[in-house]
Structure 1
Amino acid sequence: MKEDNGRIVRLLPIAAGSIAGTLLMLNRVLTPALTDSQARSDAVGVVLTAVLILTGLLWQQVQPRKPDSTVLEGTEGFELLPTLPDALKTELAWASHLLLTNTVTRSIVVYYRGQVLLRRGILAPIATVTPGAILDRVLAKQKAIYLVDTKVYPGRIEFNYLPVNTQGIICQPLGTDGVMILGANAPRSYTKQDEAWIEGIADKLANSLATRSAIDGNLINPNDKI
C-alpha cells in the first residue's frame, strides 16, 4: 500500500502539468483577442507546466518502483542440527533472525563441512544440500555470488533446497568450509549495504565455527542430520 501511494505521489506533477498545459492551450484557442498581459501570463504558465512535468519525470528516475515481491512456496520453519553446541545454536539463531527481519531474505540455509547446520524461514521439502557449480565456485574463490534474478540463471536448478519460486539468491562463503545461502522473494532486491552487512555476519559465523571446530575437534558428525 505504501509503495502504491508513493507511485501516485510521483505521478502527480506529471498529471498537474499535463492538465495545466491543456487548459492553457484551450484558453489560447478560445480567446478571440489576445492582450499583452494575457500573453505574458500564458508564457509564465507554459514555463510552470514544463517544470511540473520535468519534476515528475525526474522523480520517476530517482525513485524507481521496487520490484514486485512474491509469496514463496513452502512452509515456515526453523531447524538446527541437534548435536551442535548450545553456543553455536544461539549464534546461528541470532544471525538468521537479523537477516530475516532486516533484509528481504525469506529463506536461509547454512551449509558447513558437508552438513546443513540451519534452515530457517520459508523451507522447501528438500533439506539436503548437494553443492553444484555455483557453490563449488563460492568455496573455491572465497567470494560471494549474487543471483539477482533467478529466472535468467540456468544454474538455479542446483538450489532445489530453496523454495521453487525464490527470486534472488546470495551465496556467502563461511571461510573455506561452508556457505550461507539466502533466498529473497523479489529480484534485484539486495542493496550494496545489505551485501556488506551479510558479509560481516558471515565472517562472524565463520570465525565462531572455525574456533569451535578447533576446540571440539570434529565439530560435525557426518551421520548427524537436521
Structure 2
Amino acid sequence: MAKSDPNRVLRALPLVAGALGGLTLLINRGLTPVISTPQSRSDALGILLSAVLILVGLLWQQVQPRSPEAVELDGDEVFEFASDLPDTLQTELAWASHQLLTNTVTRSLVIYYQDQVLLRRGILPPKPDVTPKAILKRVMEQEKPIYLVALKLYPGRIEFDYLPANTQGLICQPLGSQGALILGANAPRSYTQQDERWIAGIADKLAHTLAIAFPTP
C-alpha cells in the first residue's frame, strides 16, 4: 500500500486559506446593506490578498517536490549466503549489504558473481536463482551501472523475477565483468546521486575482494 504524501497539508494550506478568505469577504459584502468607502477599500485589499494566497498555493503544488510513493514489498526477510563461502568473504558481504540496506533506500539486495548468487538479503521472494538476461548482461559486458527509476515502466522488468514483484526502483551495479550488485527499492525515483556514488564505491571494493576470492581462469 502506498504511503500518503507528508507534505500534502502544507501545500494545500495557502489554497484553502485564500479560498476561505475570499468567500468570507464576498459573504460579508453581500450581507452589508450599505457599503462605505473604507469598507470597499478593505474588501478590495482582502480579495487581493486571497488571490495571492491562492496563487502561492498553486505554485507550491508545482514547485515543492513530492515524496516518492513507497509500497510494502512482496516477500519475506531473507539473509542467505551461497554454500561454502569462506568466513572472511561472508563477513565482507554482510558488511557491504548492511551498509547499503541501512544507508540507502535499498530494501532488496542480490550479489551475483561468476554464475552464482553469493548473497540474498532484504525483502525477497522465494525464487533464489538468477538467470542473466538483456539488462544484467549489458551491465556486466559494458561494466556500467543501469538505474531504472520506475521499474514498472520498463518491459525488461520481467527479467528481475528474483526481486519482489512490486519493486519500484532498481540499480544494477557491475562488479567488474564477472557479476553485479542488484538493488531494489520500495519507491520510484528514490535513489539520489549521493546514493549512486555510495553504491558505486562499495561495488568497487566488493569487485576487488571477489576478484581475489574467485580468480578468473
TM-score by length of 1: 0.85
The equivalent of 2:112 in structure 1 is: 111
Give unpaired runs (5+ residues) of structure 2: none
Question: What does residue 41 of structure 2 align with?
Answer: 40
Shift of 1:144: 1.1
- 1:224 corresponds to which residue? none
SS at match of 1:73: coil
Counterpart residue identity of residue 137, structure 1: R
Q: Deviation at 1:103?
A: 2.3
Identity among equivalent positions (%) equals: 64
Q: Distance in 1 between matches of 2:202 and 2:44?
A: 58
| Aligned partners of 2:5 and 2:69 also within 8 Å | no
SS of the equivalent of 1:56 reads helix
> What's 2:15 paired with?
14
Q: Give the paired residue count.
A: 215
Query: Within 1, Cα distance between the matches of 2:160 and 2:6?
Result: 36
Amino acid at match of 1:180: L
Which shows bigger deviation, 59-68 or 117-126?
Answer: 59-68
Q: Which position in structure 2 is the counterpart of 1:223?
A: none
Rounded Cα–Cα distance in structure 2 between residues aligned with 1:136 and 1:107: 20
The CA deviation at 1:157 is 1.3
- Indicate the residue corresponding to 2:28 in structure 1: 27
Cα distance between partner residues in 2 of 1:205 and 1:148: 24
TM-score by length of 2: 0.89
Matched residue SS, 1:97: helix
Shift in Å at residue 80 of structure 1? 1.3
For 1:27, give the aligned amino acid.
Answer: N
Q: Does structure 1 retain, via aligned residues, the 8 Å contact 2:5–2:67?
A: no
When structure 1 is superposed on structure 2, of 151-160 and 38-47 the one drifting more is 38-47
**Structural RMSD (CA):** 2.1
The residue correspondences of 1:65-144 to structure 2 (distance < 5 A) are 65-144=66-145
Cα offset for 1:5? 4.7
Q: Which residue of 2 aligns with 1:155?
A: 156
Structure 1 residues 61 and 91: alpha-carbon distance in aligned structure 2, compared to 1, 3 A threshold: farther
Asked if the contact 2:6–2:67 (Cα under 8 Å) also holds between the matched residues in 1, the reply is no
In structure 1, runs of 5+ residues without a counterpart are 219-226
Residue number in structure 2 paired with 1:53: 54
